[in-house]
Amino acid sequence: MSLLDVSLVPTRRTALPIAVAATRRSTRVVLRSPALLVAPIAQSLFFLLIYSGQLSTVGSGYLAGGSFISFLLPLILLTGVATAAGTAGTLVLRDVSSGYLDRLRLAHGTATPFLMGAVIAALVAVIIGMFTTIVGAVLIGYRPQSWAGAAAMIVLMLVLGLGIALLSVAVAIRSGSATSTNLVTLAVFGLSFFTGVFAPVDELAGWMRVIATVNPLTHVVDTARQLESGATLSAAPIALAALSALVVAGVAACVLAVNHARRNR
């Protein structure tokens, strides 16, 4: 029988303790694995230091007195979220490849809580990464207009992380390949640079402005900037629609991947 040859919806009585145990196990793996936790944080801090150190003077010229670090931080958080959220797929892929998930399914009757545990553990990594990055930004001069706005920015990025984690889990189940699983993170990471990275979209060159305008991540980044600064949330409707679609697509992709595995393994 397939490791995923099982209903996606276990009973509430059995699912909760299994999900808690699976989350605890996956979180321990993340916290003990530098490649899964330290690497995304180091990446975010590296970009923050390099970009702010080299471009803050230039950026202040077109931000009308605004802080370049505040402008840059949402993009840095987004790239860190993309990397950390991909941890979910890595965790699931390890268990699929080793056959461990199959044994867990045989013992407990379902694999779904273990997949949930990997997603939650990845979100823990996302939260740790975001807080560490914000602390690093504060140390080099970041001062948010509103801490409530900064908290809302974190929640927005956490929703993005949830969507990415779900997609990475679906790809891991469907492909069984580390290369394919990592493509989810790579795609989001690449798209993030086709936004207003160092300047508002209106300041970009014509062809880049067109790409940035249709890129859903542009609206996510702009909404994060508006939340942090207390500005009018003009980008929020598109950003919320894009994030909702991402999470729904992630759930649907997981369901389809599980069904495919049930039929073919």
- pLDDT per residue as tens digits for the range 58-88: 666 667 666 888 889 999 999 999 999 999 9
Q: What is the mean pLDDT of residues 168-174?
A: 92
Q: Which two tokens stand for residue 242?
A: 């894009």
At 108 the pLDDT is 62
pLDDT at 217: 95
Delimit the domains of the chain by residue range. Answer: 12-264
Residue type, 35: A
Q: Examine the pLDDT at 57 and tell me if it is beyond 60.
A: yes
Give the whole-angstrom CA distance, residue 172 versus residue 159: 20
Banded pLDDT at 163 (limits 50, 70, 90)? very high
Token pair for residue 184? 């989810």
Confidence of residue 55 (pLDDT cuts 50, 70, 90): confident
pLDDT for the residue 6: 40
In this prediction, residues 48-57 reach a mean pLDDT of 83
Residue 14: predicted pLDDT: 60
User: How high is the pLDDT of residue 95?
Assistant: 81
Q: Is the pLDDT of residue 3 over 60?
A: no
Q: CA-based angle 55:50:45, to the nearest 5? A: 130
The whole-number pLDDT of residue 107 equals 63
Residue partners of 233: CB distance under 8 A and separation at least 6: 223, 226, 227
**In whole angstroms, what is the distance from residue 13 CA to residue 1 CA?**
24
CB 10 within 8 A of CB 18: yes
Phi and psi (nearest 5°) for 114?
-70, -35
